Amino acid sequence: SQQGEEDPQALSIQEGENATMNCSYKTSINNLQWYRQNSGRGLVHLILIRSNEREKHSGRLRVTLDTSKKSSSLLITASRAADTASYFCATDGNTPLVFGKGTRLSVIA
Amino acid sequence: GAGVSQSPSNKVTEKGKDVELRCDPISGHTALYWYRQSLGQGLEFLIYFQGNSAPDKSGLPSDRFSAERTGGSVSTLTIQRTQQEDSAVYLCASSLAGASADTQYFGPGTRLTVL
């Protein structure tokens, strides 16, 4: 069964706006990763946050982790049309990584 | 250096036929993973190879699915007697050592269509 569940399933915003995606999971984790997928093909790693971290930044990305609520959020600031993609969270469950169903982000120019 | 490559990029087959999907991981990566992604869905873990250890086959959906990794490098995923529900994108990934914190590097996938 899937560990992570992203919310919302789809998000449409205007270029320049911020996009926030959430991920909830069920069991304890050591770390949580966010990946991006363009056009239903290979995924690209964006950022990893460890269970003892609360917030992490990378360029226009900000990730938070609340282990008490078993949730994480990915914020993309000043979005661009090129950010249009699906975003997945992945947690280290019993198998190496367990992926959610993803949030489909559309950034309209 | 080259990334993860997969072949073929697209495969159309008839129900009941066998198919083989190939994955070439990044050189030096000891861990290799296969996932399946149905349309609009997340990634479903299939199988995981780590070094010389016995593979983790816990995600294989049926005994029609099998995979091998020869020489610790190239991997082949075989689906026997394909069914229409096997239609999906099959993604391969590799990582340096297989730790849960390792970044997984994905190939472009093989889109399988079973008619």
Among A14-23, B35-44, B98-107, name the most confident range: A14-23
Return the HEC string of B42-103: CEEEEEEEECCCCCECCCCCCCCEEEEEHHHCCEEEEECCCCHHHCEEEEEEEECCCCCCCC
From A30, A42, A101, residue closest to B91, measured CB to CB = A42
| Chain B CB contacts of A45 below 8 Å | 103-105
Q: Is there a contact between A42 and B31 if contact means CB atoms under 8 Å apart?
A: no
Give the nearest chain B residue to A49 (CA atoms): B101
Check pLDDT > 50 for residue A106. Answer: yes
pLDDT at A94: 61
Calculate how close chain A gets to B32, using CA atoms only, in Å. Answer: 10
pLDDT bracket for residue A1 (50, 70, 90): very low
pLDDT at A56: 97
* Chain pair A-B, CB pairs under 8 angstroms: 63
pLDDT, average across residues B98-104: 82
Contact B22, B74 (CB under 8 A): yes
- Look at residues B107, B4, B3, B96 and name the one whose alpha carbon lies nearest to residue B51: B96
pLDDT tens per residue across span B10-31? 999 999 999 999 999 999 999 9
Share of chain B above pLDDT 70, in %: 99
pLDDT, average across residues A83-90: 94
| Chain A CB contacts of B103 below 8 Å | 33, 45, 48
pLDDT bracket for residue A28 (50, 70, 90): confident
